[in-house]
């Protein structure tokens, strides 16, 4: 997607990372590398260990084994942590009585940055007019923007974003997408975790897919779509139930996306068309989706957490 600029970012290296919470294995010998100059999606169902991994990277959680480093160093050992890595972890972590600008001045002080950066980043995230407002009165989307402003205060080379589009309206999501691409275009390392696959598909260059704390796939979006997943057809029909029955009978994998919409995996239009005609199924629309991120993801994670998935008998 983006043309990688001269790298100003640093690689993130996760090596053999393992974390237990009591008897629960949250992260299981995870290995991957995030390169500078690209937006890397860190994808997985809820409870797959994404947040725990990011927290281990930032020194908030101690791993039982393995290590997570930025530019070859542990986060806590970086000479200027907030000037090297900016992190967006949770949008509720503000004191409600604190004004947005005061919060950012505080963040700037903590990292030894110029407090004038508070106004710069407020402007950057579109909150310039809200700097004097108390955070308690902010919407979820505004909090997300403020969290992003906090992460950017040290003009970091690496950005780690945990579900940053939560609470954002469609304009906000589009803005965030462009913003991440812009930052990656400057050569920064961007690692973004999300479960919004359609949104991520429009944003990321690389993907790291995890499930049950284990790495399932890693690579560029192109390599993943060509190497792992199969083509997908979306069929809109008033006879979706009958279509599902026919597909089951034909041994074809499918997903029911809506009451009148079925995604059929692993079939070309030339294969699906005759099948529909033979069974006299009324069709309103048939689109070739190709191999999308969602189908890759579902094939790797067995559909965990993403609704009904039909399996051939």
Partner 1 sequence: MINAIRTELLKMRSMPGIWVCFGLAFPLTVLIMLAVFAGAGGSPGHTYSFVVSLDQRRALVGAGYYGITFLAPVLGVICITSEYRHKTITSTLVLIPRRSRVLGAKVAVTAWWCVLMVVLTLVTVAAVGLPWNAGLGGVTSQVTDQVGAVVPGLVVATILLGLFGLGFGTLVKNQVAGILITIGGTFILEPVLVLLARGIFHYDLNWLPTDAAAALSGSLNRGGFGGHPDAGSHLLRWWLGGLIMLGWGLVPLSLGYFTTVRRDVT
Q: Which of 98, 133, 236, 256 binds partner 1 (CB under 8 A)?
A: 98
Among 38, 105, 145, 177, contact with partner 1 (rule: CB under 8 A):
105
Q: Does 116 bind partner 1 (CB under 8 A)?
A: no
Does the CA dihedral 35-42-199-236 come out positive or negative?
Answer: positive
Cβ proximity to partner 1: between 96 and 227 the closer is 96
Residue 97 binds to partner 1 (criterion: CB under 8 A):
yes
Which residue stretch of 35-43, 87-95, 228-236, 274-282 sits at the interface with partner 1 (rule: CB under 8 A)?
87-95
Q: What is the dihedral of CA 71, 73, 78, 84, to 10 degrees?
A: 20
Q: Which is nearer to partner 1, 109 or 311 (CB)?
A: 109
Shortest distance (Å) from residue 306 CB to partner 1? 24
Candidates 81-89, 118-126, 212-220, 250-258 — which segment interacts with partner 1 by CB under 8 A? 81-89
Give the distance, in angstroms, between the CA of residue 104 and the centroid of all CA atoms in the same chain.
25
Size of the site for partner 1 (CB under 8 A): 32
- Listed in sequence order, the residues at least 6 apart from 174 whose beta carbon sits closer than 8 Å to its beta carbon are none
CB of 21 to partner 1, least distance (A): 8
Going residue by residue from 119 to 158, which x/- string records binding to partner 1, judged by CB under 8 A? -------------------------------x--------
Select the span of 9-17, 34-42, 84-92, 223-231 touching partner 1 (CB under 8 A): 84-92
Question: Residue 153 CB, nearest distance to partner 1 (Å)?
Answer: 9
Under the binding rule (CB under 8 A), the answer on residue 93 touching partner 1 is yes
**The one among 10, 42, 45, 55 contacting partner 1 by CB under 8 A:** 55
Q: Could you say whether residue 46 binds partner 1 (CB under 8 A)?
A: no
Closest CB to partner 1 among residues 39, 91: 91
Instruction: Give me the residues that bind partner 1 (CB under 8 A), please.
Output: 21, 52, 55, 58-62, 75-76, 81-82, 87, 89-90, 92-99, 102, 105-107, 109-112, 150
């Amino acid at each position: 997607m983006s043309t990688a600029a001269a790298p100003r970012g640093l690689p993130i290296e996760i090596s053999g990372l393992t974390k237990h919470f009591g008897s629960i294995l949250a992260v299981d010998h995870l290995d991957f590398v995030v390169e500078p100059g690209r937006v890397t999606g860190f994808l997985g169902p809820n409870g797959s260990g994404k947040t725990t991994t990011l927290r281990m990277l930032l020194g908030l959680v101690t791993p039982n084994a393995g290590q997570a480093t930025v530019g070859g160093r542990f986060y806590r050992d970086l000479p200027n942590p907030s000037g090297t890595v900016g992190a967006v972890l949770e949008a509720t972590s503000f004191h409600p009585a604190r004004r947005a600008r005061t919060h950012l001045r505080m963040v700037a002080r903590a990292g030894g940055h110029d407090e004038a950066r508070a106004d710069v980043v407020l402007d950057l995230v579109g909150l310039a007019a809200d700097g004097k407002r108390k955070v308690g009165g902010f919407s979820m989307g505004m909090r997300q923007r403020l969290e992003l402003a906090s992460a950017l205060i040290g003009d970091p080379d690496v950005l780690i974003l945990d579900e940053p589009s939560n609470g954002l309206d469609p304009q906000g999501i589009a803005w965030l997408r462009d913003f991440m691409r812009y930052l990656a275009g400057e050569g920064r390392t961007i690692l973004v975790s999300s479960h919004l696959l359609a949104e991520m598909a429009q944003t990321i260059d690389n993907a790291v897919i995890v499930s049950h704390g284990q790495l399932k796939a890693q690579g560029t979006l192109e390599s993943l779509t060509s190497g792992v997943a199969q083509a997908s057809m979306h069929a809109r029909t008033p006879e979706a139930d009958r279509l599902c029955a026919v597909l089951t009978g034909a041994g074809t994998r499918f997903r029911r996306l809506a009451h009148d919409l079925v995604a059929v995996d692993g079939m070309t239009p030339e294969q699906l068309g005759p099948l529909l005609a033979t069974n006299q199924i009324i069709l309103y629309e048939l689109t070739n989706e190709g191999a999308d991120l969602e189908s890759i993801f579902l094939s790797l994670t067995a559909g965990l957490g993403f609704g009904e998935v039909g399996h051939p008998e």
